[in-house]
Amino acid sequence: MRSRMRLVLALTIAIAIPSIAGAQFGHPMKGQWSGEWGPKNNPNRVLLNLDWDGKEITGVINPGANQAAVKSVTFDYSNPAAWVVKIVAEGKDAAGKPVAITVDGKLENLGAYTKLFHGTWIQGAQKGEFTVTRN
């Protein structure tokens, strides 16, 4: 048991340190973000894969068979330390019907490796809070 705990600890450190070395100082929205949205007792895991092409942010939410394509990302830079970001995306429900996703949040900790994006997530008829950090 103890050796297993040591292994878990070692793996955690091994994973954490390269993430520190993997700095990214380009467009702060670019990159892979992971976290959760929805009720705290039954949250939905979420992964954002975003890129900056020099004109707009593009990308997908939850890459894979059921991914949602990002349609637009807009920014309000009024507060340089907490950018207001709105993401509009479109996914599909289990029946294959389009589902609109609207993400309204604040992008904070902009200069640190662990950037934080949090706010309100609306997916179809569901609404909840979300928090993602940049991987």
Query: Which spans of this chain sit near another protein (rule: CB under 8 A)?
Result: 7, 10-11, 13-14, 16-17, 20, 23-28, 30, 34-36, 40, 43, 52-54, 75, 77, 80-81, 83, 108-114, 116, 118, 129, 131-133
CB atoms within 10 A of CB 131: 16
The nearer residue to another protein, 68 or 107, going by C-beta atoms, is 107
CB of 42 or CB of 97, closer to another protein: 42
Residue 97: CB minimum distance to another protein, A: 28
Output the smallest distance, CB 35 to another protein, in A.
4
- Identity of the residue, 53 or 94, whose beta carbon is nearer to another protein in the bound complex: 53
Structure tokens at 32: 């892979």
Least distance in angstroms from the C-beta of 48 to another protein: 12
At closest approach, how far in Å is the CB of 49 from another protein?
16
